[in-house]
Amino acid sequence: MAEIKPSTAPAGAKKPATTQQGGNSSNAISVIAPILCIILGYCIWRFGIGSPSNFEKPDLAGGFWPKHEGPKGGFAKMYEGGIIVPLLIAFFLCTLTFSIERALTILKAKGTGNIGNFIRQVQFNLANKDIDKAIALCDKQKGSVGNVMKAGLKTYKEMITVTDLDTDQKLMAIQKDIEEATALELPMLQKNLVFISTIASVATLFGLLGTVVGMITSFAALGDGGGGNASDLSKGISEALYNTALGIGTSAVSIIMYNIFTTKIDAVTHGIDESGFTLGQSFQTNYK
């Protein structure tokens, strides 16, 4: 992208008509989704994994955290990992929720066609000085690249007929509108990725926390039993390690999804940068 960055727009320049994508809905998701995921995570742990039918000795009057005993399978043993388990389930649900939300947003930002082909078609039309056709391509492409290109093309078309500005001033006006359009588009691409990146780091730590708490409880039971509860100790450690497994698994999924989304965002950002460079070079070549 050209390096010219004016502090104010030259006379005759208009602000780009670029629409921000789904800002209000995205803000609502970032507030509501974590709360719902925590609630759903607890319900899965308490009423799904912790269903009385999954235990030989269910605690029917346990309330918030029943002390069921005798899990009938590996799935039920996860319940005895403790109260950290529903948080880890909530982390996984958050990762899944925000991954779907980011996938839909980035898919919309990419537009309806290949970005590289779109930019080449615009370059061809600009070389032929057919600006209206280039704008029509932007309307067809949509997405972040199409929005930014269209904002620049509108100013591009206006600057052709302006006579009281030199070429450098016209380029500054085009570049300023491209930058303003870009400033509206890029934040929506990055939004909510912070949840996925945070979970990638925090999930493992919470898994280890649950394991440590479980092992403390197991060793305390061993000490109270005077050394006669070695089998209970092994059982308790095994159950505590479910926290580690859940934490590492959730963290791994979060890291993979974060890297996928950042790669796709980089591709869109590169298209936006190439759009600005294309318009600047074309105007400088065709309308010196």
In percent, the amount of the chain with pLDDT more than 70 equals: 86
Confidence of residue 146 (pLDDT cuts 50, 70, 90): very high
Question: 217 pLDDT exceeds 80?
Answer: no
Is residue 13 a part of any domain in this protein?
Answer: no
Give yes or no for a contact between 271 and 119, defined as CB atoms under 8 angstroms apart. Answer: yes
Q: Which residue has the higher pLDDT, 220 or 246?
A: 246
Inform me whether the pLDDT recorded for 4 exceeds 60: no
Residues 6 or more apart from 47 whose CB is under 8 A from it?
none
In degrees rounded to 5, what are phi and psi of residue 56?
Answer: -75, -35
Q: Is 73 a member of any domain?
A: no
Number of domains in the chain: 1
160-216: pLDDT as tens digits: 988 888 888 999 999 999 999 999 888 888 888 999 999 999 999 999 999 898 888
Any domain includes 9: no
Reported in sequence order, the residue ranges of the chain that DSSP labels E, i.e. its strands, are: 55-57, 69-71
In a domain, residue 230? The reply is: yes
Is 221 contained in some domain? yes
Cα separations in angstroms, 175 against 6, 10, 133, 157, 159: 8, 11, 21, 13, 12
Host domain of residue 189: 81-287
pLDDT tens, 244-262?
999 999 999 999 999 999 9
| The two structure tokens encoding residue 76 | 């039920």
Q: List, for residues 22-34, the tens digit of each pLDDT value.
A: 455 557 888 899 9
pTM over 0.75: yes
